[in-house]
Structure 1
Amino acid sequence: MLENFWKDKYPAGVDSEINPDQYPNILAVLKESCQRFANKPAFTNLGKTITYGEMYTLSGHFAAYLQKHSGLQPGDRIAVQMPNVLQYPIVVFGAMRAGYVVVNTNPLYTQREMEHQFNDSGAKALVCLANMAHLAEQVVPKTGVKQVIVTEVGDMLPPLKRFLVNTVVKHVKKMVPSYSIPGMVKFNDAMAKGRALSFTEATPAAEDLAVLQYTGGTTGVAKGAMLTHRNLVANMLQAKALMGSNMVDGEEVIICPLPLYHIYAFTFHCMAMMLSGNHNILITNPRDLDAFVKELSQHRFTGFVGLNTLFAGLCNNAAFRALDFTGFKVTLSGGMALQLATAERWKEVTGSPVCEGFGMTETSPVATVNPISDIRLGTIGIPVPSTLCKVIDEDNNELPLGERGELCVKGPQVMKGYWQRKEATEEILDDEGWLKTGDIAIIQEDGYLRIVDRKKDMILVSGFNVYPNELEDVMAAIPGVAQCAAIGVPDEKSGEAIKVFLVKSAGANLTEAQVKEHMRSNLTAYKVPKFVEFRDSLPTTNVGKILRRELRDEELKKLAG
């Protein structure tokens, strides 16, 4: 057991342990930070900034509305389906302060995906952006959701700008399909009602559920990782510890282009940066690189949280390369593997080295990271404080340093388990608290870890997990499909791209375009395959199980030449 192995691996000034019980819950951190940094900017979006003090007041208004008007009971789940806008932290912290569990929901989900998540979580309320409300109209009647609150992109802006932004989004860009949801409440109306009300501040216990964060599974069914207040408090303290003295509380300006509904950005920007009182610049649509770079030019930013695809795209943008990077201190990378060439190019352009880390939804998410003061490219760093790692063989035996095996993680940030899925929890989490990651890693003599392969069939597209079983379930419903399989293939832009293989039924006349159209109708955009190949047969075991690994090996051989 490597229990004492990492004690001397932490850089000077970084403790090897944190106290996960330093705060009783997330709300205690929120209150302390919003008082300590009351006049400091917390979040900026579309030119509007709210301070920590304002965020506390506004989240209180939303909490009051929910307690008095939503019909929710303590512990009920509330789905939050929004991109990076100022309403997001107000809604999330308001829901927590009112005593409810947040269910982060991808705004790009299809009806099918929304219906599964809302029903599986038992969500009783939904807060969504108007752009997605037409889908909610179809889905809500099939779920237990009783209250729907709809917000528009510009709702937090001053009146004239709000009107202009919302009008352009709706009528010029045509980004808001018409919808009609009985009993729906507008976000600003809810806030106005809440302003006149008082509420009872929730006091959740450390082990109470704070967030249900959905992740795919090898079965293709998205599962809710139960993240407690203690899990998230621990991870924000761990992340802050490894920032070391490089980051000054209340003084940093951090760019947030990754979606807050994803656990990586959620924990870093809404949790760790809240603990530190730092300023988060929310980017609503990072795909629009020109608008993104224009926004960057407005700020003297000191930190940037992103992933490989984004770094590569920005480095190829002339306007980005012309920005003033004076004072830029730290870049954090996660969600997908960081390519060495991208890291080197980023440092050449910005002067900032990239700290790569590793995590999973199930670990809240940060498990390991490169300390800012001692970055070793090609590794995922060292375990965050109060965290142990080990690698095991197929028989669960721990392996010595330098040998490759499945990476396991143990620490206060490891989830409580999967929501209402006892068997799935037992498969990944043992009685001692060790979580199997499904990634094959090596622990080096210097304490740094390297990921060398993936045990699971999971595909990682631009930082998002995609599970072959889900893709195959959707493909199998296409008339004329006899057999199908999905794998990930290397891709310069997204890390991996999805390739699917299909065997047609006798006489079926099926095209690539039809396959992609069906997938697009049933799955979020990043799950739609980039490549479609029809075959006469697929490799299988003697009991007929399709061998995805064999298909992957074939593709890698083609690439190798």
Structure 2
Amino acid sequence: MFTAPALETTGDMSTSQFKTIADVFEYAFDHHADRPAFQCMGHQMTYADLNDASARLANWLIKHSGLKAGDRIAIQMPNILQFPVAVMAAARAGLVIVNTNPLYTAREMKHQFTDSGVRGIIILENFCHNLEKILADTDICCVITTQIGDMLPQPQRSVVNLAVKYIKRMVPAWKIARAHSWRDALAQPPAELSKIDSGTDVAIVLYTGGTTGLAKGAMLTHQNLISNMMQLRQVSKALIRDKEDTIVAPLPLYHTYAFMFHCMAGVYAGNLSVLIPNPRDIDDLIKTLAALPEINGFVGLNTLFLAMCRHRQINRVNFSDMRFTGSGGMALTISVAEEWLKVTGCQVYEGYGLTECSPVVSVNPHDKVKIGTVGPAVPGTEVMTVDEQGQDTGINEKGELWVRGPQVMKGYWQNDKATRESITEDGWFKTGDFAVIDEDGFIKIVDRKKDLIIISGFNVFPSEVEEVVNSHPGVAESAAIGIPNDKSGEVIKLFVVRRDNVLTLDELTSYCRENLTAYKVPKQIVFVDDLPKSNVGKILRRELREQELATLS
């Protein structure tokens, strides 16, 4: 077991100065009023602007929404200026926030909204057609709709909104009775905002990816989030300067990692986050970055780094002022880390986290990066790897990673059984990830427990196979899964995206045989144009397995 140094509790690093996340926002408004806070589509909002807009919306929520302190409110939108305003307003109104993936289907929305019991929602109108389908099946009594350009100045606001709706036709027809408009809600007079306590220690309910069955809502308390904010700040303060730095935000803010970095730690520090509404549009992303006077930090993940490095116009972006690149959400491959360093001149600092841990568990230190690891645990955190009996496996031995610290969630929303299965009586959270912890406390994630492939009794970790395959110069990316086999239980099937059409099956099979022991060599290799990915770019082995099992049944 490894215990990280205690979280600093003096000066500005103290968590005791804040009772709720609304207190954090109030601190930022008071200390950074004139600083730019968020930028999107070329328009900036200062912390004073955020204060005014979120106070207006909070006042409307308190007086006109029908919601009361402690009620859940869903926020469903991409990275646009309305997102941080909505989060801050909900917190200031004493509501519990339920961040919602904007690309959810109606079925997924129904599950999340009914499971969490949300009574209000702030939603981009592009997704209202799905809300309309399931609204009657929920307890939602207040709907606030917004258009993409609603926080932009005129005439840009009208131009963007009209283009999105009538030229790009990105807004399917919808009709929701008694829906309120964002602009009308923000017209609420900026009266003095009374501080409201929700009466609950839960600040946010964030839903996990649902890789096994239905997604579960992780209850993150105010102190979970505040503690993790301070933990992240303590390990990043040498690289990120308060009240100065511009950090690019392509990862969706509804995702726990981006939420913590940009809506909590970045706000507390008084930094500027440049919001990217659609990071899949690499052309537009590069154009946005090229227009920035300077970039000091970038928070992304493996697939995005690779796509950017290969973009034909990446040399238009000025990376000379960049000191920090954070990686999270999926494993960072060594080849991509090296390519990013070559293109940008900036080291990637890989970390590890889970929604259930608010999310940051570990980060590579700026002065001692170990490529291939996710660094040591952040301050105030204990980690260990355990065997099937829950016994500590010790140094450099594989086991399931367990975490204990102030950032570990309260539990799963209305799911005591899942909570008991995930958190021990003495507070250890079972991550479901296999890892190795070295003598310095650095953690190497080996694989997801549920992704483990068992071949004739031998354990095979898909990431090991993929790391070897991805090191071939003809491979862009790959995914390995286990498929049923009468003789060995399972065999490996490999899906490969080639960099060009030169690489052959025979060549890749020979390469695998040269670099992998016999039982780890894929029995089937398929070349594909792309791999299924989550909205944050994580390769979904689960979908590949489901597709494969469907063809076998």
Short-chain TM bin: 0.7 to 0.9
In structure 2, the partner of 1:130 is 125
Distance across 1 between alignment mates of 2:149 and 2:452: 37
Secondary structure class of the residue paired with 1:450: strand
Distance across 2 between alignment mates of 1:218 and 1:322: 38
In structure 1, the partner of 2:496 is none
Distance across 2 between alignment mates of 1:56 and 1:421: 36
Distance across 2 between alignment mates of 1:437 and 1:495: 24
Q: Per-residue deviation at 1:267?
A: 0.6
Q: Per-residue deviation at 1:536?
A: 8.2
Q: Does 1:233 align with 2:217?
A: no
Aligned partners of 1:67 and 1:199 also within 8 Å: no
Aligned partners of 2:401 and 2:435 also within 8 Å: yes
Q: Per-residue deviation at 1:133?
A: 0.7
Aligned partners of 1:223 and 1:419 also within 8 Å: yes
The structure 1 residue matched to 2:410, chosen from 395, 406, 416, is 416
Q: Does 1:89 align with 2:46?
A: no
User: Which letter maps to 1:400?
Assistant: G
Give the paired residue count.
484
In structure 1, the partner of 2:253 is 260
Distance across 1 between alignment mates of 2:30 and 2:165: 37
Q: Per-residue deviation at 1:368?
A: 0.4
Q: Per-residue deviation at 1:392?
A: 0.7
- Structure 2 unmatched ranges of 5 or more: 454-461, 485-531
Summarize the Cα distance change of 1:424–1:40 in structure 2 as closer, same or farther, 3 Å threshold.
same
Summarize the Cα distance change of 1:128–1:305 in structure 2 as closer, same or farther, 3 Å threshold.
same
Q: Deviations over 1:91-140 (max 9, x none)?
A: 01100100100000000000000000000000001111111011111111
In structure 2, the partner of 1:110 is 105
Q: Does 1:390 align with 2:384?
A: yes
The structure 2 residue matched to 1:222, chosen from 215, 224, 231, is 215
The structure 1 residue matched to 2:287, chosen from 294, 301, 305, is 294
Distance across 1 between alignment mates of 2:430 and 2:423: 6
Q: Deviations over 1:125-161 (max 9, x none)?
A: 1111111011111111111111111100000111211
Aligned partners of 1:336 and 1:495 also within 8 Å: no
Distance across 2 between alignment mates of 1:37 and 1:536: 57
Q: Per-residue deviation at 1:398?
A: 1.2
Q: Deviations over 1:169-212 (max 9, x none)?
A: 111111001111000011011111x235554222357x711100
Secondary structure class of the residue paired with 2:326: strand
Secondary structure class of the residue paired with 1:245: coil
Q: Per-residue deviation at 1:39?
A: 0.4
In structure 2, the partner of 1:315 is 309
Q: Deviations over 1:355-386 (max 9, x none)?
A: 00000000000000101222110000010011
Secondary structure class of the residue paired with 1:57: helix
Distance across 1 between alignment mates of 2:280 and 2:211: 29
Q: Per-residue deviation at 1:18?
A: 6.2
The structure 1 residue matched to 2:368, chosen from 366, 371, 374, is 374
Distance across 2 between alignment mates of 1:524 and 1:267: 15
In structure 2, the partner of 1:326 is 320
Distance across 1 between alignment mates of 2:337 and 2:291: 24
Secondary structure class of the residue paired with 1:382: coil
Aligned partners of 2:227 and 2:406 also within 8 Å: yes
Summarize the Cα distance change of 1:162–1:91 in structure 2 as closer, same or farther, 3 Å threshold.
same
User: Which letter maps to 1:431?
Assistant: E
Q: Per-residue deviation at 1:239?
A: 0.7
Distance across 2 between alignment mates of 1:106 and 1:410: 28
Equivalent runs, 1:480-491 vs 2, <5 Å: none
Q: Does 1:171 align with 2:166?
A: yes
Summarize the Cα distance change of 1:165–1:252 in structure 2 as closer, same or farther, 3 Å threshold.
same
Decide which moves more: 526-535 or 239-248: 526-535
Aligned-residue CA RMSD (Å)? 2.9
Q: Does 1:66 align with 2:61?
A: yes
Distance across 1 between alignment mates of 2:225 and 2:38: 20
Secondary structure class of the residue paired with 1:71: coil
Secondary structure class of the residue paired with 1:128: strand
Decide which moves more: 212-221 or 233-242: 212-221
Distance across 2 between alignment mates of 1:420 and 1:453: 29
TM value normalised by structure 2: 0.82
The structure 2 residue matched to 1:363, chosen from 354, 357, 361, is 357
Summarize the Cα distance change of 1:35–1:175 in structure 2 as closer, same or farther, 3 Å threshold.
same
User: Which letter maps to 2:123?
Assistant: C
User: Which letter maps to 2:256?
Assistant: I
- Structure 1 unmatched ranges of 5 or more: 460-486, 502-519, 539-561
Summarize the Cα distance change of 1:327–1:537 in structure 2 as closer, same or farther, 3 Å threshold.
closer
Secondary structure class of the residue paired with 2:51: helix
Q: Per-residue deviation at 1:322?
A: 3.5
In structure 2, the partner of 1:351 is 345
Summarize the Cα distance change of 1:210–1:244 in structure 2 as closer, same or farther, 3 Å threshold.
same
Summarize the Cα distance change of 1:424–1:535 in structure 2 as closer, same or farther, 3 Å threshold.
closer
